[in-house]
Amino acid sequence: MNLRQLEYFLAVAKSLSITGAAADLGVAQPTLTKSIRALEEELGVRLFDRLPRGVQLTEFGHSLLRHAETVNVQVQDAMSEIDWLRRGAVGTVSIGAGPAWLRRHLPLCLARTMARNPAIRARIVGGYDEILLRALRRGDLDFVVAELPSREVSQDLAIERFTSDELGPCCRADHPLARRDDLEPAHLLEFPWILPPRSTRSHRRLQALFVAVDLPPPRIIVETESMAFILHMLRDSDALSFMGAMTLRWKEAQDLALLKVPKISTMRYAGLISRKDGWLSPAAMAIIAELRTVCTADPKN
């Protein structure tokens, strides 16, 4: 097994089409087919099931895919490190950022770091935790600043806590529930909800909080990755959402309020997430150092 074979395997696994993968790689289809067959013969298993249109991964193919992706990321890290050592190149730092980090801390950190190091360039990718972590594991991002994942699903990641925030139900300031001082979890079920995608940790935690008090999950009428959309719809409706107290300090959230319902509230911890044993360029380390400084001074986000 060699790196070229793994590259070809990954291309077919991504495209699920020999023809499509050959076009993406810029190689002849027979060359790609021969490489995949040689790899299957070497391993003694079938990696793909051939379908009338395209292919699909077998159980063995899925197993190899996990390892091949890790190897591919490690090779990318090695090439980047060697390129930096050879040329002293600063390059571009690719950063994944959760919604709160796009508005606070990260912009200030980049501004300060780039003022001291004008050659640094950055690519910022916004999103929610699961999407960002997948991109990090693929090697598309150098590091992520977002809500920290649980230890159970992050054994391959390095985690450093920077900030905390209170998560709770929120609504517009003149919402019927905002005027009550006897709120119970059941009252929250009388209204519809707007939430980030169900794959996000905040969505799953909200569901778990209702289960913990023996109540059904709330009725969700909108799921969206756009925090701006959630904030605007909350202001224009009786819907509820689940977000951090610091978010309500944003200009777009000035007409919203956090409801005091202790049983449907929790703490959110956020910070730096990177690949365990992965290489980070000096430019990335400079940004991270500034993040530590800023978050130490202001540990709420």
> Using one digit for the tens of pLDDT, what is the confidence trace for 115-135?
998 888 999 999 998 899 999
Question: CATH number of the domain that 24 lies in?
Answer: 1.10.10.10
Cβ atoms of residues 112 and 290 within 8 Å:
yes
Shared domain check, 282 and 261: no
Q: Is residue 137 part of a domain?
A: yes
- Which of 12, 37, 67 is the last residue in one of the domains? 67
Question: CATH number of the domain that 115 lies in?
Answer: 3.40.190.10
258 pLDDT tier (thresholds 50, 70, 90): very high
Q: Is residue 275 part of a domain?
A: yes
Q: Which residue(s) pair with 144 in the sheet? A: 96, 273
Shared domain check, 204 and 89: no
Q: Is residue 79 part of a domain?
A: no
Q: Is residue 74 part of a domain?
A: no
Question: CATH number of the domain that 257 lies in?
Answer: 3.40.190.290
Cβ atoms of residues 251 and 112 within 8 Å:
no
Q: Is residue 73 part of a domain?
A: no
Shared domain check, 282 and 146: yes
Query: Which positions ≥6 away from 48 have C-beta within 8 Å?
Result: 12, 36, 55, 56, 57, 58, 61
Cβ atoms of residues 106 and 124 within 8 Å:
yes
**Residue 1: predicted pLDDT:** 82
Domain span including residue 47:
3-67
Q: Is residue 245 part of a domain?
A: yes
Digit-coded pLDDT (tens) for 262-295: 999 999 999 999 999 888 988 999 999 999 999 9
Shared domain check, 101 and 184: no
Digit-coded pLDDT (tens) for 191-237: 999 999 998 999 999 999 999 999 999 999 999 999 999 999 999 99
Shared domain check, 128 and 250: no
Q: Is 17 left (phi over 0), alpha (psi -120 to 50) or beta?
A: beta
Shared domain check, 179 and 37: no
Q: Is residue 88 part of a domain?
A: yes
Shared domain check, 159 and 275: yes
pLDDT at residue 89 is higher than 80: no
**Residue 119: predicted pLDDT:** 85
Residue position matching structure tokens 């999950």: 217
**Residue 73: predicted pLDDT:** 75
Q: Is residue 76 part of a domain?
A: no
**Residue 234: predicted pLDDT:** 97
